[in-house]
Structure 1
Amino acid sequence: MAMPGTTATEPSVPLARRRWLALAAPVFGLMIVGLDATILTVALPTLATDLEATTTELQWFTDGYTLPFAGLLLPLGVLGDRIGRRLVLIGGLLLFGVGSAMVMAVDSPDGLIIARVVMGAGAAAITPLALGMVPLMFPPEERSKAMAIATAGFALGLPLGPLAGGWLLSNFWWGSIFLINIPVVVLAVVWIMLFVPESRDPHAKRLDLIGAALSLVGVSAFVYGVIEIPNAGWSDPTVLVTMVGGLALLALLLVWLRRASNPLVDLGFFRNARFTWSSVAISAVMFILFGVLFVVPQFLQQVQGKDAMNTGLHLLPMIGALVIAAGVGGRLVGKIGTKVIVTAGMVLWVAGLGLLSTVNPDTDFMVTGTALAIMGLALGFTMPTTLDAILGSLPNYQVGAGSALANSMRQIGASVGVAVLGSALNSAYRNGVDDDIPASLPQPAQEAVRDNVAGALQVAEKLPAAPAGSLADSARDAFVAGMSTVSLICAGLAAVTAVVVAVLLPARDRQPLAADEAEEKAQAKSARL
């Protein structure tokens, strides 16, 4: 029994009793990708101190991972189709492990950014191929359940990252949050070699190198410009050139994709309204989620004085609410449709973010925890539901390509979210703290105060009691003002997305078109399920 999209000489698909064992491999891979996307959040205050990192460098610790992730998802997915999905998946896992191991030699922010770039490139191979292989290993009657389990691995990894990171930081060196990936990578590689057969598409299209280059350079240039705005200002030539140039390259990419004979992205996916608006919704959710996870752990640690472990534990309301809402939403979506569940989730995002915007340095955790719980409910209603809608909108023979495109949009949303919201936080913080910096401070100390709240608190510790207290309070107040700005920006995006989803997202899957059914039957016949 051969897998769809395999050649006749390749190993057969696992027997029924082994299929579910084989599923563990992509689940492991997707979980560490999701975990590593957020595990860094609780470490940001520690890294700001230990590596003397600025706010801009803290943003790059996150975007150094998400940018190559977003830019390489599609080309690496196509490469796997051409030369072997298992081969490229194993290569991605090994690259991810190498990037994780590189932190042992890191002693500067630049070194960590490079390690994160390597990990992001590995993640870009893991995600589309892990997701794309699952439908090939299962017959149609088991496919939906298998895909749900695989995507749940990634979805659960996101909120569990800060919890795992908090425990590791409280007990080990900060690099342990990356080294923990290595045994998981080894286990996943061994599992794949034992249980997952090789597969490739004998009719795979050529890799669109021009489209891949335009995508990667365009997104990277735009995000770089956004990150540099607080440091250099809107009028800085580098900011203007990178932002405008990035947008121009992305516009050129759209033109290229419409005219290329073998485009990197099939824009025909966007003719499906359910695919389009679910992808837009989940991109907005990732924009918001990564913004929240960028600012809240710093607030809990630097402003309210909690350690890393307690910070992770204080995120439990979000994790618990996510699990509850995902289960409830999964049961309700069949009865009331995707549109209602996702719209309700976006409204909950507005409520939770609105509450978060009201906190101050002395706010009791009852308020912050309630805001996190509401946002956890929002995440549980929106992420699994939109992922399921995206996969359900695609014919089985297009699940791999379609999920890669949706994942690319999702990671771009995360990258842009950290860049835009981190820059908003940085600008608001600097505006709030500037007037309270003692003129008598040496210039390097003044710059440390302006860089981030961690630097301000370090400087304050070296001052006499009265000015130290004043500077520390000013820095905390400035950070909270920046967090409120971030929360309100995200709430506005959530409100707009709620309206868009309510108006444009179809409530249920459309019935497959005759052309889809014919194509799927042809694929199945040629591959002999």
Structure 2
Amino acid sequence: MPRTNHPETFSRPGWATAAVCLASAAMPITFTGPAVALREIEAHLGGSPLALAWVTNAFMLAFGSCLMAAGALADKHGRRKVFLGAIAVFVAASLALMASPNLWVFDGLRALQGVASAGVLAAGAAALAQEVQGQARVRAFSLLGTSFGAGLTLGPVAAGWLTTAFGWQTIFVLVIATASIAFSIGMRVLRESRDPAAQKLDVPGALAITSALTLFTFAILQAPAQGWLHPMTISALCGTALLLAAFVFVERRHPRPLLDLSLFRYSRFVGVQLLAAAPAFGFVVLLVLLPIRFIGIEGVPVAQAGLWMAALSAPLVVLPAVAGRLSHWISPATLCAAGLLMAACGLVSLSVSAGGAAALWPMFAIGVGISLPWGLMDGLAVSVVPTERAGMATGIFSTVRVAGEGLALAMVGALLTALIAHELLTATHLPSDTAVAVAQVLVSGNLAGAQAGWPSIGAAELMRAFEAAFSTLLMVLAGGTGLIALFVFRFLRTPNVPSATNCLGESA
């Protein structure tokens, strides 16, 4: 009888797909797990509301800003080598996180996890593309997308159960085990491959875009406490603008840029970038904000809150494949726009729900709506540009999606802080700086800390301010998601030809 558990008795492409999918599934678990366990992490490590905000932002910022550079390094130095090396760094950072002495060290290690995750995803996808061909490649990358959906679904559920039963550190045991299995398989079956035309990494471009995203995130997170007109906030925003200008300058002159700006001549390519950013505001931010609301404000047990989050993310395990089949009869523009509009309706419904279990059906509607574009985005990213530009298009798309999620978290958190502060100012006539300080504590989900720090404000008033602000925020997100749906429909229906001018106004 053949030994079916040996890599050689299963196709090499099959085992390569398994290795990359397992490694990729660890990434969303790493993102969503600490969000569910945020209260326990704070209780163990302490830290300010700003430091708590960086628990998720540090990971997503590093992940998104390093994707293009990681892809370039993999092409030059070897996809297998970068893939396995990135997993090793990811595992080491995860082990160190379990022994962090304070929250700022924890945040730094989260950033290192994000850098490693960029290497895992970029090099893994590139290596997989060399292992599978034709229709098998389509199936493999469909499984890669499904693995992300599975990770998003499993992350909150597993994090809630593990945190309750064994402590928050065991969340990282799960991702270490998953990544280690991927490493073991990948080391045996992945073949080394490089791009013979690859040149040296565009270091100035990589530094400029990473610094710009970091500075902008810092400005957004600091602004609620310091004020938008504070010199530090203004300096950070001006620095962001200068760094972005420097990035464009470098990319226009580099022989192998990280970002080929000429791709923005294609209207459908612009539509795909909008599509990549849409889930960040209509879905991904909820993966962080809803556990904060359920656990920190409403007092839902951690394990139960993690289970509730499956209502939001479970549709991503099944429905993206359904969307792919529907695209044979319904245009991708229509499917994507319809899905985003459904998600917007779910956000409106969630904004008027009473909270608790009443939020589950609106959450499910949002998950179903997002699943339709989610199942088509990766394919559209490479189909809306000429074939020879597909690699660069995929890198840009992945960067916009992941970096957009990190920026969305920062911006939505700042907006929620401002909305809560406004509610408190209206209801209690607190000094503005006090209202902002209370709001920052509430945004981190620490209702007990807000009560202890400002006992003159009743718990009912604090909860009312949070719920009113949260409802307003959801309406804003619904409006933005609906607007993006209209733009996506407009751009994706455009014939696939370059515009007369590119995004910089230059002649094509």
Pick aligned residue for 1:479 from 445, 449, 466: 466
Confirm whether residue 168 of structure 1 aligns to residue 168 of structure 2. Answer: no
Q: Which residue number corresponds to residue 441 of structure 2?
A: 451
Per the alignment, do residues 480 and 49 of structure 1 end up closer, same or farther by CA in structure 2, a change over 3 Å counting? farther
Q: Which residue number corresponds to residue 317 of structure 1?
A: 311
Q: Which residue number corresponds to residue 188 of structure 2?
A: 194
Q: Which is worse superposed, 75-84 or 180-189?
A: 180-189
Q: Displacement of 1:38 after TM fit?
A: 1.8
Per the alignment, do residues 359 and 244 of structure 1 end up closer, same or farther by CA in structure 2, a change over 3 Å counting? farther
- Mapped partners of 1:319, 1:447: distance in 2: 32
Q: Which residue number corresponds to residue 505 of structure 2?
A: none
Pick aligned residue for 1:271 from 254, 265, 275: 265
Q: Which residue number corresponds to residue 519 of structure 1?
A: none
Q: Is the 8 A contact 2:224 2:436 kept in 1?
A: no
- Mapped partners of 2:327, 2:439: distance in 1: 49
Confirm whether residue 72 of structure 1 aligns to residue 66 of structure 2. Answer: yes
State the identity %: 25
Q: Which residue number corresponds to residue 63 of structure 1?
A: 57
Pick aligned residue for 2:406 from 411, 415, 435: 415
Confirm whether residue 333 of structure 1 aligns to residue 333 of structure 2. Answer: no
- Mapped partners of 1:508, 1:47: distance in 2: 50
Q: Which residue number corresponds to residue 390 of structure 1?
A: 381
Q: Which residue number corresponds to residue 488 of structure 2?
A: 501
Q: Please give the per-residue CA displacement for 1:452-485, whole angstroms capped at 9, x wherever unaligned.
A: 265442463699xxx68x6211221222123223
Q: Which residue number corresponds to residue 11 of structure 1?
A: none
- Mapped partners of 1:438, 1:107: distance in 2: 39
Q: Displacement of 1:449 after TM fit?
A: 7.5
Q: Which is worse superposed, 255-264 or 75-84?
A: 255-264
Per the alignment, do residues 435 and 450 of structure 1 end up closer, same or farther by CA in structure 2, a change over 3 Å counting? farther
Q: Displacement of 1:256 after TM fit?
A: 2.2
Pick aligned residue for 1:490 from 472, 477, 501: 477
Q: Please give the per-residue CA displacement for 1:85-113, whole angstroms capped at 9, x wherever unaligned.
A: 11011111111111111122213220210
Unaligned runs of 5+ in 2: 1-7, 498-508
- Mapped partners of 2:43, 2:474: distance in 1: 25
Pick aligned residue for 2:177 from 170, 183, 191: 183
- Mapped partners of 1:248, 1:207: distance in 2: 22
- Mapped partners of 2:397, 2:370: distance in 1: 17
Pick aligned residue for 1:372 from 363, 371, 387: 363
For the residue of structure 1 that corresponds to 2:201, the secondary structure is coil
Confirm whether residue 156 of structure 1 aligns to residue 150 of structure 2. Answer: yes
Q: Is the 8 A contact 1:349 1:494 kept in 2?
A: yes
Pick aligned residue for 2:41 from 44, 47, 57: 47
Counterpart amino acid of residue 399 in structure 2: S
Q: Displacement of 1:324 after TM fit?
A: 4.6
Q: Is the 8 A contact 1:27 1:153 kept in 2?
A: yes
Confirm whether residue 381 of structure 1 aligns to residue 372 of structure 2. Answer: yes
Q: Which residue number corresponds to residue 210 of structure 2?
A: 216
TM-score normalised to structure 1 length: 0.85
Q: Which residue number corresponds to residue 503 of structure 2?
A: none
Q: Displacement of 1:251 after TM fit?
A: 2.6
Unaligned runs of 5+ in 1: 1-13, 511-529
The number of residue pairs the alignment matches comes to 488
- Mapped partners of 1:87, 1:364: distance in 2: 47
Q: Is the 8 A contact 2:225 2:437 kept in 1?
A: no
Q: Displacement of 1:57 after TM fit?
A: 2.1
- Mapped partners of 2:47, 2:129: distance in 1: 43
For the residue of structure 1 that corresponds to 2:255, the secondary structure is coil
Q: Displacement of 1:121 after TM fit?
A: 0.7
Q: Displacement of 1:493 after TM fit?
A: 1.6
Counterpart amino acid of residue 108 in structure 1: N
- Mapped partners of 2:475, 2:450: distance in 1: 30
Q: Which residue number corresponds to residue 500 of structure 2?
A: none
Q: Please give the per-residue CA displacement for 1:243-292, whole angstroms capped at 9, x wherever unaligned.
A: 12112211331232122222122223333433331222121212332321
Counterpart amino acid of residue 61 in structure 2: L
Per the alignment, do residues 342 and 164 of structure 1 end up closer, same or farther by CA in structure 2, a change over 3 Å counting? same
- Mapped partners of 1:49, 1:132: distance in 2: 41
Q: Displacement of 1:435 after TM fit?
A: 7.4
